[in-house]
Every structure is written in structure tokens, then in C-alpha cells.
Amino acid sequence: MNNDTQARTHGVPVGVRRTIAYIVLIFFSVLCLIWFYILLINSTRSHAEMTRGFTLLPSTNLVNNWISLINGTIPIARGFINSIIVSVCTAVLTTYFSAMTAYAINTYRFKGRTAIATFILAIMMIPGQVTALGFLQLINRMGLDDSIIPLIIPAIASPVTYFYLKQYMESNLPLSLVEAARIDGSGEFRTFNTIILPLIKPAISVQMIFAFVGSWNNYFTPALILHTDTKKTLPVLIAQLRGADWLRFDMGQVYIMIAASIFPVIVIYLILSKYIVGGVSAGAVKG
């Protein structure tokens, strides 16, 4: 095969295909990032400036919007703390117990194993809104209404996270390693915590990101449960700020609050992003 043939694939030069690929990637990158740019620009503008139309240039009201938000009636600092507590606890509980469930079903051979796995997957098909009424009745009877506990404890059961981790273990966890640990006298919990968890660290990191972001952006359940302003999470407070009457409504405050609420998500992505590609690709089922 000569050099000219090697430089072409299906009649299209490699350089042309590479250029087209870069153009497409740049286009979609701009399409994804432009909304963040608009958000940041609007967070620097006052409410009066935004009523006059859109601009691509930042304004000078970023500090004023933040001071106005802090001094307003919305407990923004407490909302941040509540969201961080709920999201971190949810991410940790979801990944740990889902990994433990996936490990048990993937490793042990017992009667009813297939039925249990099928039942867990069937739960994935039930929308959360369908069970919301029963969930509210349950927490009212338990005296947990207007508390962040019902936002954290149910996170232990996460069928989606379990399914992903089980697929990852089937592809990347050799059962011979578990058998070797048992022969060496390692207990089941020690084997799971000191051997299995480090081996599935990429998958754990990916699912922690998804669980954190999902809990951080969750509005439906907190809006039903939380009633006191000092106990509400950020999405509920943002909706409350947007729903203010026209005398107190300030789009500058809304945009600066949304921009501030994105910051923890970006930090989590920066910390765990190096595991995303490896975790997703390794979690795929091998043919």
C-alpha cells in the first residue's frame, strides 16, 4: 500500500477528515459553553440593564448583585450548607451501598439471586413521581417532615447506580481475586473495603459525580418536604427567589445565585473528572 493510499480513507484525505472533526467539536463545544457565558454575563448586570435587552459584554454590577443577595431575605449561606450536606451524604451512601449490593449479587451464588437482580432492575422503571404521595405519608408518620434526612437515607437504594457498578464488576473484577482473599483469611467486609473498592475506583468516582450532581440539582423532593427557609436547599431557594412578587423581583440576584450554585459542581468535576473516561469505557460490557 503506497503513501497516497494510506493518506486517504474512502476517498477523503486524512487532513480533511481531521479538519471536519475539529470544526464539529468546536461547534458543539461553543454550543455547550455559550449558555454558561450568558449566565456569567447576566450575573454582572443589574435588573434594569437586563430589561433593556441582551448584550455579550459584562457589566459592573457583579458585586452589587452579590451584596444584594446576601442582604436579602433568602438565607443563601444556609442553603449552600444544606445542599452540600445532602449532596455529599447522598453521593457517598449511593455509591458505597450500591457497590456493596452489586458486589454481593455479582460474586455470591445463592438461590433467588437472579430474581433479586431482576426486581432491582424493575424498580428502575418506576418514576419517582409515582411514589411521591406514599413517600410523603411515610415521612409524616415518622415525624421527618421538614427535615433533610428523607433526602439522604433513601439514597442508599439506587437501582441505576447498582446496575452500572454491577456491569463494571462483571467486566473488570476477576472472581479469582476474591477467592484468593478468602483463602488468605480475609473477611467479607475487609475484602470489599480494602480490595474491591480500590479496584472499582474509576466507576465509584463516576457514580459519585452523577449522584452529587443529581442531588445538588434536585428540586422535586426538597420542594415537597422542606418548608422552613433555613432548611431548604439551593434549587428550592432559587425557585423561591424567582417567584418573588414584582416589587422584590431582581433578575440580577437570580443570575448571581444560579452562577454561585454551579461552582461546587464544577469543583467536583475537576476533582474526579480524570476518572470519567476510564470509568465509563471500562464499565461497558465486553463482547
Confidence (pLDDT) at 154: 87
Quick one: 103 exposed, middle or buried, by C-beta within 10 A (0-12, 13-18, 19+)?
Answer: buried
| pLDDT tens sequence across 19-65 | 898 999 999 988 888 888 888 888 888 888 888 887 888 888 888 88
| pLDDT tens sequence across 70-118 | 887 788 889 899 999 999 999 999 999 999 988 888 888 888 888 888 8
Asked whether residue 4 carries a pLDDT value surpassing 60, the answer given is no
Report whether 107 contacts 175 (CB < 8 A).
yes
CA dihedral of 275, 84, 93, 286, whole degrees rounded to 10: -20
Q: Please give the model's pTM, rounded to 2 decimal places.
A: 0.80
| pLDDT tens sequence across 242-267 | 776 666 677 888 888 888 888 888 88
The β-bridge partners of 13 are: 8
Q: Could you tell me the three cell numbers for 208?
A: 459519585
Quick one: 104 exposed, middle or buried, by C-beta within 10 A (0-12, 13-18, 19+)?
Answer: middle
Q: How far is CA 235 from CA 130, 172, 213, 254, in A?
A: 21, 37, 12, 11
